Chain A
């Protein structure tokens, strides 16, 4: 039973990595990162159920807070870049390229 949950978590994480690799839309890349965080949360909670300790729940709570902070900052950066270039393509955002 726990194996099924951990396998699903691995599958979701791999799908998130694929989304980050293969897409160029900045929103899709951002939501794929959120998907990876969620897969990690699922693994934390499944392992907390396995060991019957609630430290995994607390860790998932902290991951949620970090995801909220990341969402606020990343969307602010996206708004700024969209104002600057008028596009949502990650290949356009190459200001830091030397």
Chain B
């Protein structure tokens, strides 16, 4: 019963944060609203008994990635006059929702036709660091290595793109 109420609270916070992200004019306000969404999603992961993902969502997403985005927004020092004039924003919003809402309703119908899962109590360290790590390094070793190479390439690419250009004489 408590988990149901917690789910509704976190879900409301997540949707409110997402709405604030797509409706607020300045990207700084949007980023702060998006942090609310990320933290409430971490709460939802904890409700789904994914304790490792709960910690990683808080540390990596709400901590590292969002602080990087906020740092770049502050670094560029965007004044309200520099923001794009989004005159047709509500028109685009209504037109986009005309396209997106039917797809969402179709997906909801698909989800409703799934078999209802019994919410059994699972123990044995489901979602803990050790069990997730065992699955990661036994069954998913090759994707893990590929992702590490991807991170290295992204690091090198970011330095090459944003670093200071020395003009060659």
Contacts and interface: CB of A to CB of B under 8 A. Distances in A.
Interface string A3-14: 111111011111
A4 to B, nearest CB: 6
A64 B56 contact: yes
Contacts of B83: 25, 88
Given A22-B93, A25-B27, A64-B60, A38 B111 contact: no
A67 B65 CA distance: 8
Nearest to A4: B7
Q: Is the interface of B mostly helix, strand, loop or mixed?
A: helix
Contacts of A41: 41, 53
Contacts of A87: 82, 84
Contacts of B120: 52
B161 A18 contact: no
Interface residues of B, number: 82
Nearest to B157: A73
Contacts of A88: 27, 76, 78, 82-84
Q: Is the interface of A mostly helix, strand, loop or mixed?
A: helix
B86 A57 contact: no
Interface string A73-98: 10111111010001111111000000
Contact of A57 (B19, B68, B135, B151): B135
Interface centre among A15, A35, A80 (most CB of B within 10 A): A15
A55 B100 contact: no
Interface in B146-169: 147, 150-151, 153-155, 157-158, 161-162
A90 B15 CA distance: 25
Interface in A49-74: 49-50, 52, 54-55, 57-58, 60-62, 64-73
B30 A17 contact: no
A2 B114 contact: yes
Contacts of B84: 24-25, 87-92
A90 to B, nearest CB: 8
B2 interface: no
Given A71-B65, A75-B69, A62 B117 contact: no
Contacts of A91: 84
A86 to B, nearest CB: 8
Nearest to A52: B122
10 contacts: A5-B44, A27-B72, A28-B21, A30-B69, A31-B34, A31-B69, A61-B56, A61-B132, A66-B147, A72-B158
